[in-house]
Structure 1
Amino acid sequence: MAIELNEPALRQARALVRDGKVVRDERDDWSEAQPTADEENGFIESEGWTEYAHWHLGVDKSENRETKQAWSFPIGDFRRVHRSGVIAAESRAGQFDHGDIRDACKALLELIDADG
C-alpha cells in the first residue's frame, strides 16, 4: 500500500476554500459531518469516480481507482471542504508517516484560517 498525495483533490480543495465553499468547524465535528457510506455511494452513482476522488487527499495507486479502497483522507461533504475533515486528515497522515499529505493539510488549514 503506497498512499500518495492526490494533487487534483488538493487543487480542488484550495479552489473551494478560495470560493468560500468551506465549513469552519472544529476538530470533533468531522465524525458527524463526514459523508456516510450511503451518501458516498449516491455521490459515486450520480457524479462518478473522478469526482469522488477529488474529495480525498490520498490515493493508493496500487488499488483499482474505481473502488473506495483507492481513496483516503476525505476532507469534505461533496459540496464544501470541512476544516474538521482537514484536521482529521492531517492527524491521520502524521500518524501513518504520510508527510506529503500531512504537509498539504497544514497548508490547507492555513488557507482556511487565513481566509476566515
Structure 2
Amino acid sequence: MTVKRNAMAFNHARKLTEEGRIVLDDRDEWSEHRPSAADENAYLEEHGFHEYAKWYLGIDDEMGEETKGRYKFPYGDFERVHRCGVLSAEVRAAQQKYADIENAVAHLHGMLDGRRAENR
C-alpha cells in the first residue's frame, strides 16, 4: 500500500481552519465525532468523490479512484475540521511512518491549538 499526502485535502483543511469552521475537541472524542459509514455514503451520493476526497489527508494510490478505500486519514465531519480527527490522524501517520502526512497534520494541529489558545 502506498499512501501519500492529499494536497487538496490539506489545503481544504487549512482554509476551513482559517475560516473558523472547526471543533476544538479532544483526541478521544473522534470515535463519537467521526462520520459513520452511512454519513460517508450520504455525502458521497450528494457530492461525489471529488468533494469526498477533500476530507481525507491521505490517498492510497493502489486503490481505485472511486472507492472509499482509496481515502485515508479523515479529519472532519464534512462540515468542520475536528481537532480530535487531526490528532488521531497525526498519531496514525506517525505509527505508519507516513512522514508527509504526519507533517501536514502536525501543521494543522498547530493551527488548531493556536485557535484554541485564542479562545481561552
Establish whether TM, by shorter chain, passes 0.5. yes
Q: Distance in 1 between matches of 2:113 and 2:15?
A: 15
Secondary structure in 1 aligned to 2:69? helix
- Of residues 104-113 and 3-12 in structure 1, the stretch that sits farther from structure 2 once superposed is 104-113
Q: TM-score, normalised by structure 1?
A: 0.98
Ranges in structure 1 where 5+ consecutive residues have no aligned partner: none
What is the SS of the residue equivalent to 1:115?
helix
Q: CA deviation at 1:62?
A: 1.7
Task: Give structure 2 stretches of 5+ with no counterpart.
Answer: none
Match of 1:107 in 2: 107
TM-score, normalization: structure 2?
A: 0.95
Q: Find out whether 1:85 has 2:85 as its counterpart.
A: yes
Alignment of 1:1-116 (within 5 A): 1-116=1-116
Q: Which runs of 4+ in 1 moved over 2 A?
A: none
SS at match of 2:62: coil
Q: Deviations over 1:71-111 (max 9, x none)?
A: 00000000000000000000000000101101111110101
Tell me the amino acid that sits aligned with residue 9 of structure 2.
A
